[in-house]
Structure 1
């Protein structure tokens, strides 16, 4: 198995959940995905996200994709 490629994308799901006083379980139910899959995304371990899932997350959270995901270049 090839080594995992590093990425510079950070997920700000915790911030959005806190601002909306919502739990991961509540969000998972409203978006229609499992808590486990949502946790993988929240903890930065996801390798990909479907646009349909991203769209549902943004709809439920009332946010834009840029509020959820950020590109943070590593420093040399």
Structure 2
């Protein structure tokens, strides 16, 4: 399941910018290994994947709207 862990804001001046959302997701990585006798096995290993998405805005109204949405979903 993907979880929002941090929200940053990047500003570009003149009420322009973007909210940068930092996500973490628990995943399972699989590896195929060959034993000495030639048999193959699949090994599962838990891992964490990080990603970022941006929610750009071009004026103060858009900024406040996005900020309100993020507060509702992050709380």
Coarse TM-score class (shorter-chain normalised): under 0.3
* Higher strand proportion: 2
The structure with higher relative contact order (CA 8 Å, sep 6+) is 1
Please, what TM-score do these two structures have when normalized by structure 2?
0.19
What TM-score do the two structures reach when normalised by structure 1?
A: 0.19
